[in-house]
């Protein structure tokens, strides 16, 4: 096969799986309820985008062997948090906790990386979303850090409603 063949298995190739396999991966990661809602909301205008997302993101990227699903979840969450894509971040945090085998401690570590490399405001918002999602799915919120349990931070934590998180205006 030539290097431009999408089914070429040589190093560096980006093969796409068939649509049914792509949809199966999408459902495994995001859940039937989410995928069914997305498909039901598809219009003539958004159908090409849904097809692109299914074929490339789920049938190409998420179906590759190079990273395990939990690792892909963590990378995706870091990128979404850094970019401030809160809707997608919420969806992928829920997926990570419920479907891809990521635990809350791993999510905390990834968001700490986001704080250093993408900024405190991005991580602050991501931690708030993680806390809400963790409550919704029935797991405990983010693991307390040394900063969140330090006596100097108790007043800030009580005021913000998110232990260890920055206030909105900070």
How far is the CA of 72 from the CAs of 3, 106, 151, in angstroms?
25, 13, 36
Q: pLDDT digits over 1-52, tens only?
A: 344 455 555 566 788 899 999 999 999 999 999 999 999 999 999 999 999 9
- Return the higher-pLDDT residue of 98 and 145: 98
| Distance, CA of 75 to CA of 122 (rounded, Å) | 15
Q: Is the distance from CB of 59 to CB of 17 less than 8 angstroms?
A: yes
Q: pLDDT digits over 65-74, tens only?
A: 899 999 999 9
CATH 1.20.1290.10 residue ranges for the chain: 67-170
What confidence score (pLDDT) does residue 12 get?
Answer: 66
What confidence score (pLDDT) does residue 15 get?
Answer: 83
What confidence score (pLDDT) does residue 153 get?
Answer: 30
Q: pLDDT digits over 88-108, tens only?
A: 999 999 999 999 999 999 999
Q: Is the distance from CB of 37 to CB of 26 less than 8 angstroms?
A: no
How far is the CA of 110 from the CAs of 22, 118, 163, in angstroms?
26, 11, 18
**Is domain 67-170 annotated with CATH 1.20.120.550?**
no
Q: How many CB atoms lie within 10 A of CB 77?
A: 25
Band of residue 139 on the pLDDT scale cut at 50, 70, 90: low
pTM of the model: 0.75
N residues, the chain: 170
> DSSP secondary-structure letter at 62?
T
Is the predicted pLDDT of residue 112 greater than 80, yes or no? yes
Give which of 167, 78, 76 is closest to 116, Cα–Cα.
78
> DSSP secondary-structure letter at 15?
-
Is the predicted pLDDT of residue 121 greater than 90, yes or no? yes
């Amino acid at each position: 096969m030539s290097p431009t063949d999408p089914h070429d298995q040589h190093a560096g190739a980006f093969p796409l799986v068939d649509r049914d396999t792509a949809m199966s991966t999408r459902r495994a990661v995001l859940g039937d309820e989410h995928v069914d809602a997305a498909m039901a909301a598809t219009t003539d205008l958004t159908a090409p985008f849904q097809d692109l997302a299914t074929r490339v993101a789920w049938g190409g990227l998420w179906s590759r062997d190079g990273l395990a699903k939990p690792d892909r979840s963590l990378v995706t969450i870091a990128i979404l948090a850094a970019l401030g894509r809160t809707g997608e971040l919420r969806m992928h945090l829920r997926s990570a906790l419920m479907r891809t085998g990521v635990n809350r401690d791993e999510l905390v570590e990834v968001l700490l990386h986001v704080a250093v490399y993408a900024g405190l405001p991005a991580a602050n918002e991501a931690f708030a979303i993680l806390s809400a999602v963790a409550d919704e799915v029935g797991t405990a919120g983010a693991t307390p850090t040394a900063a969140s349990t330090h006596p100097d931070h108790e007043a800030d934590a009580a005021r913000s409603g998110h232990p260890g998180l920055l206030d909105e205006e900070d």
